[in-house]
Each structure stands twice: as C-alpha cells, then as structure tokens.
Structure 1
Amino acid sequence: MIPEHQDTLYCLILDHNRFQEDPLSVVFQNEELPELIRLFDNTILQDVAEEGPWCLFLTAESLFIADQLLTELWRDDKYWQGGATLVVGLAEQSKQSLLEWIRSRALALSSDGNISVFRFYSPALLGQIAEYENKQDQDHLLTGVRGVIWSAGQLSADVFPSERESFRTYQLPEVLQKGLME
C-alpha cells in the first residue's frame, strides 16, 4: 500500500526497456494532464535516452496513489512489477528538486571516479539493496527523499540531511557497483 501524503510529490519512474507494451498508454488513460519528463533530459545522456526511462509526477490525488492503481498494476502485471518504481519526495519538495535528486542517483560516481548509469530505480536492484545493504548505505542512497517503493518492497530514509548534500553526484558504495551500466 502506498502512503498518501497530501504535502508530497511522487515520481513514478517507468523504465521502457522492462515493458512489453508502452506503459505510457496506461498513464494517458488514467491521468488527465500527465507531467512526464524523460529521466535523462538535460544530462550527458540526453541524446541516447529518447525512449526513457520516464518520470511521471503525481500527487496524492492521482488515481495511481489515491485509488491504489499502481498497487493493482504491481500485483497483476509482471512488466509493471519489473519496470516501475515510485520515489516519494519530502514534504513540500518541488518537482525540480525531486527530479534533481533522481538524476543525482541515476548518474552516479563509480569507485574509479567516472560518472555511470546507476539503475537505482530497478526493482531487482532495489530488492538486493533492501536485502543486503546496511542501514547506513541505504540512508545514504535515500538522503533527500522520504523513500522508494517498488512492487516487492520499500526503502525509507530515517534521516533527511540538507538539500545541498542530497543533490551532489551520488558516490556509489563499493558493494553497489553491480548496479552500474557503463
């Protein structure tokens, strides 16, 4: 069940590569004026990421949240289970601020100092992080948001350090290197 926070913006990350059919058709069927942005727009990957992943911004009034449509999709559709993750922002966090946080995690620094794609939004990787990572590394990953929810679980931050810290390029702990796509 997705928590409803009236003061919170949600961002549903849809990874097109994980779906058999276009997930945006469900979005347009259920959202009147969806706020969609490609995750890698205005980044170093802008030219190669035309197909997404997509960021869909939602509020607590969205059918995906209020009517638990996303929970239903996660329960009934294996493609939504493997290709959709919900990032829950902090109270009063702006869309731009939430997007900056997401991008700061998706383009992370590897141990060799190179910027690489870190698919933190992958439900499979999130499951591994939840199972094997220590709480300190999980909190480091989540600094700047309330949590991340996917079909089989969720991670919630216990601490919310300053915004300035949260939007630096994320330095991957060594054990998370398996989530990189270089």
Structure 2
Amino acid sequence: MTTDTSTIILLILLSTLPALLVGGAMYLLTQKYLDRDYRKKILDIRLKNSETILPIRLQAYERIILFLERITPSNMLIRVGPSGLSAGAYQAELLQEIRAEYTHNLSQQLYMSEAAWQQVKKAKEDVVSMINQNYQNLQDKSKGTDLAKRILENVLHQEVDPTAQALQFLKRELHEIF
C-alpha cells in the first residue's frame, strides 16, 4: 500500500467515525425513549385494568364472605329450619343448600388468591363434614330438630366455627389489598 492510499483510508475512517458515534448515540437515545414510552403504556394499561378489576375483586370477596356467613352452622340452621323433617331429610336439605350456595359463587375464585379459595373450600368441606358426622351419630328415627340441636351443641362445645378461619383469612387478605 502506498502512502496516498493509507492516507485516504485514514481520512475516510476519521471522517466516518464521528458520524458512527453520533449515529450510535442517537440509536441509544431512541431506544431509551421507546423503552420508557413502552413502560409508560404498560403502566397505563395496568392502571386502567386495576380500575376495572378492583371493584370486581372486592365484590367477589363480599360474595364469598356472604357465602361463608350463610353456611355458618348457626346461621344456616336458622335459615333452613327442620320443620317436621326427619334427620335424614334435613341432612339432605342442608347439604343441598350448601351445594347450591357454593355452585352459585364458584366463579368468584377467578378474582381471589389461590390461598383464599382453598380456605373457602376447606370451610365448606368442614361444614359438610360436621353435618354428616352429627347425622351419623343420631339414631335411625331421629328428627331434623335432633340433628339441628346436635350440630349447635357441637359448635358450642368445640367452640369452633368451621367458617371462622376462612372468614379471618379473607378479611386479612382484603386489608392487605386495600
């Protein structure tokens, strides 16, 4: 290579280097701007979603708390009275009431945490188990009032409401959300 050729190459490199530096800097600035704009749009979308979803989530928790209150043995026994039923018929009516309430509120799990929904399911299963155990401890020709009395005695003696733990969990979770 001659000196003229190397000088020309050196001059070309020296003249294109500032353009490459400016181009690289512009690329980085544009990339940062686009990234920041993208994050801002994502944040706006999340904010709009939260404005829509938050009331729905609150309503779901309200409905599930109402469900738990309705299947609490003391409340359910008042609402679904034994009125002349046999213990077996009354047990079936109580279990049907729980199933109907649960089915009616099943979709609310979409708006709840998995832990909260597991607490709700456990509470429902505990109430069903309590009803079944008390029914099994009765004699064959017992009346619905005997079953109701046995369930209430069980709740009073054990001092445990099968829905209380789930209710407390939901309330704690709601306080964390809001």
Question: Fold conserved (TM > 0.5)?
Answer: no
Structure with greater strand percent:
1
Structure with greater helix percent:
2
Q: Which TM-score band applies after superposition, normalised by the shorter structure? A: under 0.3
Q: Which has the higher contact order (CA 8 A, sep 6+)?
A: 2
TM-score, normalised relative to structure 2: 0.22
